[in-house]
Structure 1
Amino acid sequence: MSGDRPTMPPVRLPSDAELARDALSAPLLARAAKLARWAGEEGIPVGVGGELLAPQLREATELLGLAGDEDGDAYAMDAWQHALDTGLVDFEEAEETGDGEGVEPDEDEPRGTAVAGEELATLASGSPSDILELWLAGFESVLADAAAPDLGDIADRIAEGEDLDLDSLDWDPEGEADFLDGVLGNLYLLTALEQSDAERPVPLPALAASMIVPDDMDEPTDDILEEVSDAMMRLDDQFRLLAPTGIIAYRPVDESLIEEVDGEGRIRESVDGVTSDSPEEEDVSRYGMVSLTPLGVLAVRDRMQEAGVDAPVVGDLADKGADALLAALPGHPETAARAEAELWLARRTPAEAAAELLAAGRGDDLDAPSRRLACQQTLSLLGAGAEPAVREVLDDRELGGLARVWLAEHGAADVPEPGEEMVFWLTIDTIAAQLAASGDTDELRGLVEGLVGQHSGFFDAAWRVDHPATADVLEAMGRLHPDKKVAKEARKAAFKARSRG
């Protein structure tokens, strides 16, 4: 993998079989399949390009159980178009007879026949990966539609005599597609970083603000808030179109919040105060809530990989060596790291896993403390079968300390007491790993205060520790300790450590 290749946190994905079931039950594909079966081998008469004629549209709407829905015809047309786009339905154009030359064709006159396509069999007997491939192709088609301007509005304007081009539409195709990709990317990142298994919905104002409000802006200006409001309305339309694909779970913006200004929808109330990700839920939910489904994670990950982004899945490292596992785990969110470690361990006996992990934990490079901390955390998931391998490193300068910690935590007998040199070496190593992972945190500040408070003369011993990170750790302790006198001692100790080197 290239060192400059963008990398995302790992995501968890269900099996292909589970994802395929989700795809088959997604409203848009399920409706498209039903209409394809309705068309059958004998086919139905259709208009130019395969669109449904008025009588067939009524029948399709009733077949889908949408006759009582005010948008039923539109949903039926979307499902039929989806069937055409995915190959569930094939359009066979009628041959021209030459009759009626120069006569404007009747829009309700059949121009061909639509029959069930070859891909319909994929839904019934294809493998899960085949079904997902078909679903992904259909999703890409809908995504392209979502980034396009409102064709109905364009048709109305043309009918009124306007001469339209891309400039007059104020539409940037590439920019609009990039914006929607960015929004889905932000949803993907939030899903990957989520520390629970539940799909937590994101408020639409917060999602729009993440794309509009500059990172260094403390308080959004009125102009920025107006941009956020416009983006929300755009996303509301796009998410309503995307939701039937199964990529997202979406609660639309409350219609009572929308007013029409100059023929365009606007949020009636200011979005100031609801653009953060932690407003009052009962209020912000009216402005729209969205979450990425497992199918959505699959689809966005697929697009990221095509764009050259490294988008790992939990379990990718299960068949890799311990060196690859320990290199990756420090960058994983906590729950993903544990799941990755458990999948890796499941393919090895405790003795094999422990020996491999400990061997990979050695080293004096900059990343070594992080590897050893990941090694210790992964070892903690192993039972008594790992004990012989752990005992073998008790005299190892780099691993002896964490080996004693593991044995003590597992209630092992005859655990030798560590010498002072090993205790201080493990302390420096652990703090170095935590600094690399999180920087100067409140948790680390508490650890530093506790260490200094428990050991009189801590710094006099610590600066002598032969560890590559000793000076950096002591400098960090000087930053973190609230007592100015103690902080000064830490900085002096760091100077001594550097002078010794």
Structure 2
Amino acid sequence: MSADRPTLPPVRLHSEAELARDALSAPLMARAAKLARWAERGVPVGVGGEILQEPLAAATEHLGLAGDEDGPAYTAEAWQLAVDTGLVEIEEAPDDEDGTDLPDNAAAGTATPGEELGLLTSGSPQDILDIWLGGMETVLADAAAPDLADLADQLTQGGELDLDAIDWNPEEEAELLDGILGNLYLLTALNERPDQDVPLPALAASMIVPDDMDEPTDDVLEEVSEAMMRLDDQFRVLEPIGLVAYQPVDEALIEELDEDGETVLPQGPSTGSGPGGTPIAEPLTDEDVSRYGLVRLTPLGVYAVRARMLDAGVHAPAVGDLSDKGADVLLEALPDYPEPLAQAESELWLAARTPLDAARDLLAAARGDDERAPRRRLGAQQTLSLVAPDAEEALREVLDDRQLGGLARVWLAERALPGIPEPSQEMIFWLTVDTLAAQLDSAEEEEATAELRELVQGLTEQHSGFFETAWRVDHPATADVLEAMGRLHPDKKAAKEARKAAFKARSRQSD
């Protein structure tokens, strides 16, 4: 695999306008903005910008949370987000002239609406998303922090925090959360239904159970259970900022299992990870699976995780990235895209060009004798199938081209256009080998291999003496294609003929 090929499958992003609306409507962001506007007359704050007890009560009332026992905590959280994102700005109080310390709960400054607040109403969608991304990073840091109750229990007598005592490593926690979000991102990209929920046990197992472990040990299951409960806490923190949609673990279930001293895992889950660390989350057999937690990235979450990956230097493509690139870049990337996203990418690329210009660019980029060329030509053929008949002239220009004449005839025939010259047998066989080479290169899944096996069998049944002609085809991949046909053909006699033909082709190429 070349170094410049995508390291992640592409994702389909919502428009910036849609994402900005989602950001503004995220509960935590909406509360922070409401508090920032409420601060117009000035709000006394403590040394770190925290809201003081008396204004906290008024702020909680302003948010309509006075009747919620957790209302003050939600309000303080929203206020802190407003401070961290610049929705409010702090003007420090002048130093006390006699140098005495401020009394407890005394104001160390005054908060008023910040410049960023105006961008939420008058700025561009990107301005709003930039503010939201800054707040999201703060929330991620909070999610990776240790439980406050644990901190209170583990404080030393001298009032100093011993991180070793609470078994918390900030870097490891941040990396684990990044890995979990990365797995969710990958599942979203690979799934035909991006809105499909992932069971929490499956997600936890995808980070902990080794790929080569057929049956997890009790110790590993215990580790998965502990990770699952940690994720439950983290996703509860991340949901209000709009990063994930989360159905938490049932509190009653946690109490039941904790009393019995059992791990918090459903019986008989199908969890683990596939090749390359790809997480697998098959449906669990338990009808009440939702009690164990369900999570998915929101469209805003997909945008955010991708932004973080790009900042980290990861190649994380999105549909539409190639619309302003040349046809050579498009055809090099399309073979690695899932079919629906490949078509969406092609449609956006074509929309920026006239049919005639697009067809000429695609045909020129499809030429070549390198290993990737067959896949580029297959991508060109699939993209050209979306091009309007106005491109007819470009296709007729390559009818005599050995590499492009076959696909040009297919395009013209599909549109029932007149005057299509009959292809020579040499062109037919060359196109057959080229098409098989492209499909062999992309047939990684069992289902694709089964379809290819049927194609190989059909070809040999339709053309008597197929292998006797095929080994003479002047195509760089002829020998490789014939060898693959020998492996795939279900008939032993035909498979043997394919292997013989492959030997002849290889000998011919070496002469």
TM-score (normalised: structure 2): 0.91
Which residue identity does 2:330 align to in structure 1?
A: L
Which residue identity does 1:172 align to in structure 2?
A: N
User: Is the contact between residue 434 and residue 477 of structure 2 (CA under 8 Å) also seen in structure 1?
Assistant: yes
**Aligned-partner Cα distance in 1 for 2:81–2:160:** 30
Match of 2:234 in 1: 238
Change (3 A) 1:353 1:268: closer
- Alpha-carbon deviation of 1:279? 2.2
Match of 1:277 in 2: 282
Match of 1:32 in 2: 32
Q: Which aligned pairs between 1:465-484 and structure 2 lie closer than 5 A?
A: 465-484=473-492
Which residue identity does 2:149 align to in structure 1?
A: G
User: Is the contact between residue 86 and residue 119 of structure 1 (CA under 8 Å) also seen in structure 2?
Assistant: yes
1:10 equivalenced with 2:10 (yes/no)? yes
SS of equivalent residue, structure 1 residue 217: coil
Match of 1:105 in 2: 103
1:192 equivalenced with 2:155 (yes/no)? no
**Aligned-partner Cα distance in 2 for 1:269–1:337:** 38
User: Is the contact between residue 258 and residue 267 of structure 1 (CA under 8 Å) also seen in structure 2?
Assistant: no
Q: Which aligned pairs between 1:66-85 and structure 2 lie closer than 5 A?
A: 66-85=65-84
Which residue identity does 1:132 align to in structure 2?
A: L
Which residue identity does 2:140 align to in structure 1?
A: L
Change (3 A) 1:373 1:5: closer
Give the counterpart of 2:122 among 125, 136, 146. 125
SS of equivalent residue, structure 2 residue 115: coil
**Aligned-partner Cα distance in 1 for 2:351–2:4:** 32
| Contiguous gaps of at least 5 residues in structure 2 | 272-280
Match of 2:361 in 1: 356
Cα RMSD for the two superposed structures: 2.5
**Aligned-partner Cα distance in 1 for 2:306–2:268:** 32
Which residue identity does 2:425 align to in structure 1?
A: E
Quick check: 290-299 or 253-262, which moved more?
Answer: 253-262
Give the counterpart of 2:215 among 201, 214, 219. 219
**Aligned-partner Cα distance in 1 for 2:64–2:145:** 28
1:448 equivalenced with 2:446 (yes/no)? no
SS of equivalent residue, structure 2 residue 245: strand
Percent pairwise identity: 69
Query: Which deviations, in whole Å up to 9, do the C-alpha atoms of 1:236-266 show, x marking residues without a partner?
Result: 1111111111111111112122138999x97
**Aligned-partner Cα distance in 2 for 1:159–1:55:** 31
Match of 2:88 in 1: 89
Match of 2:48 in 1: 49
Change (3 A) 1:253 1:392: same
- Alpha-carbon deviation of 1:98? 6.2
**Aligned-partner Cα distance in 1 for 2:203–2:251:** 19
User: Is the contact between residue 471 and residue 494 of structure 1 (CA under 8 Å) also seen in structure 2?
Assistant: yes
Quick check: 336-345 or 431-440, which moved more?
Answer: 431-440
**Aligned-partner Cα distance in 2 for 1:281–1:370:** 43
Match of 1:139 in 2: 136
SS of equivalent residue, structure 1 residue 290: strand
**Aligned-partner Cα distance in 1 for 2:58–2:282:** 45
Change (3 A) 1:337 1:71: same
| Contiguous gaps of at least 5 residues in structure 1 | none
Match of 1:249 in 2: 245
1:490 equivalenced with 2:504 (yes/no)? no
Give the counterpart of 1:297 among 298, 302, 308. 302
Change (3 A) 1:260 1:173: farther
Change (3 A) 1:480 1:162: farther
Query: Which deviations, in whole Å up to 9, do the C-alpha atoms of 1:155-214 show, x marking residues without a partner?
Result: 233288886412112111111111111111111122222334x52222211211111111
1:385 equivalenced with 2:383 (yes/no)? no
SS of equivalent residue, structure 2 residue 48: helix
Match of 2:175 in 1: 178
Give the counterpart of 1:375 among 380, 387, 409. 380
Count of matched residue pairs:
496
User: Is the contact between residue 460 and residue 466 of structure 2 (CA under 8 Å) also seen in structure 1?
Assistant: yes
**Aligned-partner Cα distance in 1 for 2:466–2:316:** 44
User: Is the contact between residue 304 and residue 311 of structure 1 (CA under 8 Å) also seen in structure 2?
Assistant: yes
**Aligned-partner Cα distance in 2 for 1:266–1:68:** 36
